[in-house]
Amino acid sequence: MSDITLEVGVQQIWGDHAGDYGPDVTVGDLEVAGFTARQLTLNGVVDTAAREGAKADFGVNRGLWWSFMTTIETGVAVTGEPIDIYIGWSPVSTAGTGNPGNLTGADAAYTGGTPELAEGLALLKYLGSMICSNDQLPQTAHIKTLQTPERYGTIVVVNNSGATFHTDDVNMMVVATPIIGDVA
């Protein structure tokens, strides 16, 4: 009889790969396999502001399930407040085309369009929240496991923590890990 096992495929990691991304393996490293770097600059994001990352290609042949996790560091200790994670799915590879919620598909501040952030977020898929603990160190949380409805996606991080994010991006990232079934 054959066994079905789960394997981890190539991850999508949104972080400041063009700058100071370099997670500390003791506090915030979520890399478990090879990964594709997607640019997302989170340093200094103020409370109630949002940032979108570069559009990712999850692959023409992709894992059926994807696990989303995040590691974020605030500048001061906060307790019980959320950092919200969204994704905008798209069937189109071009960064600025075929996106919901006025996404540009590039690393940039995200305003949601006119007139406010909430209207743009309402058109995206809410993945979940990391609820901050009373700790300034990078905090890590599993956000959601889901199936990808489209080949391309753009991550949005909304800071509702009550504090500004840390001034560097060393340990800040959003990671999507494919979960692939294998018949052995």
Q: What is the pLDDT of residues 7-50, one digit of tens each?
A: 888 999 999 999 888 876 665 678 887 899 999 999 999 999 99
pTM of the model: 0.93
- CB-based contact 163:45 (threshold 8 Å): no
C-alpha separations of 130 from 61, 91, 138, 174, 180 in Å: 30, 28, 12, 11, 25
H-run or E-run covering 118:
helix 117-121
Q: Give the residue from 17, 73, 22, 70 showing the smallest Cα distance to 44.
A: 73
Interacting residues of 26 by C-beta distance below 8 A, sequence separation 6+: none
Mean pLDDT over 44-66 rounds to 94
- What are the chain's domains? 4-183 (2.60.120)
